[in-house]
Amino acid sequence: MRRPRPSTRVADRRIRALLACFGLVFAITLARAVWLQTVQAGELARRGASQQRETLTVPAARGTIFDRTGVALAIGEQATTVYANPRQVVDARTVAEAAQQTLGVDAATLYPELTDRAKGFVYVARQADPRRAQELARRHLPGLGFYPEERRVYPLGSVASQLVGFAGVDNRGLAGVELEQDAALRGHPGRETVIKDPLGRAVDVLDSVPERDGRAVYLTIDHTIQAYAEQRLRNAVSFWHAKHATAIVMNPHTGAVYAMATAPGFNANSFSALSPERTRNTAVTDTYEPGSTFKLVTVSAALAEHLVTRASAFTLPYSIHVADRVIHDAEPRPTETMTVGQILSRSSNVGAVTLARLLGPERLAEWISRFGFGHATGIDFPGESAGIVLPLRLWSGSTIGTVPIGQGIAVTPIQMATAYAAVANHGVMVEPHLVDHVVGSVRPKPRRRRVLSRDIAQQVLSMLVNVVETGTGTSAAVPGYEVAGKTGTAAKPDPRTGGYSTTKYVASFVGIVPATNPQLVILVAVDEPQGQIWGGTVAAPVFRDIARFALQYLEVPPDNPAQLQGATTAPVSTSG
């Protein structure tokens, strides 16, 4: 028998080895296939779907904010958001450079994001200019996506900026009415699930849930009165080199605020570059010691408790000792006899303390609370301060001498305006509000409560008329109209000494017009004026100009036309 030659035996071994290799490769491949189809089936299916199927959020349009006349204060402007799926991006550098050329984004920052395939979604640019985004879209770069979005815009710029507030890049309210009414304004986003081809282009829509746009909000603010009040405050701040100023114009019968102005203001379209202090609505969030405007509470309480009448007379020295304090009037004078009406019109500190002593701490504290001080007014605005009122248990012997004249107590401008509005509204306090209604919702009814009897409110109102006719508020007079009001000049607390500053004051005036048929309550407060500090000199003229403008604009007829005879027809003053 012939034996195989050596060369044949070698060939056979090679064939068997090759078959063994093929068998091993086949076994490994089979095992891999089984592992992929069983253990990894779910994960691979998920990855495959994510590469071809994508669910996008469809933003809802944010509701418009209107003033009471229908002028838009905040609107949505069309924009385009550009995004990328790094797993579908073919050339990350080209995409980054194209985005920089068209949208102005930083290519160096964007490039690492586009190369990170662990991510399925990255923003290229939020709320970009639609025309520039369309220019980028025409390049048909794989991995890029586009969807419409809104950008919040404030057409009137700085008008009512502290009040309206602003919304962020995600169209959520961050401050002001934008924050307070965010739930109604922002609506509900929709979603859309689409199938994309390997280049990232949408080829089919699997399902969608439509978005529900936000609702419009109508304010009580009148942009014309608001703009004028802001202009007048800016002039006053400039003229008196003041720190800032605040004004409120409101309807005492309904609680509707027609203007809530602050100076300096800011342009709401560029809010991100400003400090929170600059964007704060001080009329609601900040407190100040009111000074003599607070004497309204002391006099009203003494009358309401039937301890005095308007004609009750008191012999008043220039100064009076109260515990460890000496309280004196603003200007030196001899001992005089003053009626309750004169105490208010001449703003006598000694007279106010005398009335407070008749009341006693308990009753005075009760009336302070009754007028709403120490409590939030309930105005529909975020961050309202309740003010600072010392609890009765913490009163010292001198408190009965300081609080009645508006020292040692801190209030907000809206609290003070609301207190005077109660007098103007026949003794009934109405909750102030900025929102007239939200489209699709029932118009809210502001809360009301009686603070004074109708008779006492009328007595106080007539005494406030004397303040303007013959007292400290003569600069607040408006030709053709009877004006009631009160001046206030308050030294600011000095935290370094624990006492009061001798150079920093708040000058204020709160007025009611027309006094015979009140239609407006207007508060003006100027913080840290220089050169003059008196409310009758600094704040009263600002009140006069705002009142005259608003009365003419609202076509409120004069209640004292005899004053118009011989009155000048000069334009409304804009000087300090």
Write the DSSP assignment of 126-181 as a string of letters: EEE-HHHHHHHHTT--TTEEEEEEEEEE-TTTTTTHHHH-EE-TTS-EEEHHHHHT
State the pairing for strand pair 435-438/217-219.
Answer: antiparallel
Share of the chain above pLDDT 70, in %: 85
Helix 92-103 and helix 107-115, axial crossing angle in degrees, nearest 10:
140
User: What angle is formed at CA 269 by the lines to CA 268 and CA 272, rounded to 5 degrees?
Assistant: 80
- Regarding predicted confidence, which is higher, 29 or 3? 29
HSE-up (13 A, CA, CB side) for residue 526:
33
CA–CA dist 575, 417 (Å, integer): 24
Q: Give 17 or 108, the one with higher predicted confidence.
A: 108
pLDDT, one tens digit per residue, over 394-431 is 999 999 999 999 999 999 999 999 999 999 999 999 99
d(CA 488, CA 352): 14
Q: Could you tell me if 298 and 413 are in contact, meaning their C-beta atoms sit under 8 angstroms apart? A: no
Please state whether the peptide bond connecting residue 514 to the residue before it is cis, i.e. omega within 30 degrees of 0. yes
CB 488 within 8 A of CB 294: yes
Concerning whether 292 is annotated as a catalytic residue, the answer is yes
pLDDT at 537 over 80: yes
Average pLDDT, the chain: 88
Q: Domain residue spans in the chain?
A: 54-219, 223-266+281-437+445-561
Strand partners, 98: none
- Model confidence at 573, pLDDT cuts 50, 70, 90, reads very low
Q: CA-CA distance, 244 to 230, in Å (whole number)?
A: 11
Query: What whole-number distance in Å separates Cα of residue 419 and Cα of residue 447?
Result: 14
**pTM score, two decimals?**
0.82
> Fold identical between 54-219 and 223-266+281-437+445-561?
no
- Range with the lowest mean pLDDT among 166-180, 190-204, 493-507? 190-204
Average pLDDT for 319-330: 92
What's domain 54-219's architecture?
Answer: Alpha-Beta Complex (3.90)
pLDDT of 571 reads 43
CA atoms of 505 and 245, how far apart (whole Å) = 12
Architecture field, domain 223-266+281-437+445-561: 3-Layer(aba) Sandwich (3.40)
- Find residue 109's DSSP bridge partners: none
Query: Which of 88-92, 238-242, 524-528, 533-537 shows the lowest per-residue confidence on average (mean pLDDT)?
Result: 88-92
Helices (H) and strands (E) in the chain, counts: 19, 22
pLDDT above 70: residue 7: no
Choose the catalytic residue: 158, 238, 292, 300: 292
Q: Is the pLDDT of residue 455 over 90?
A: yes
The span from the CA of 401 to the CA of 518, in Å, is: 32
Q: Are strands 244-250 and 257-263 parallel, antiparallel or unpaired?
A: antiparallel
Question: Is the model's pLDDT at 492 over the cut of 60?
Answer: yes
Is 60 exceeded by the pLDDT of residue 293?
Answer: yes
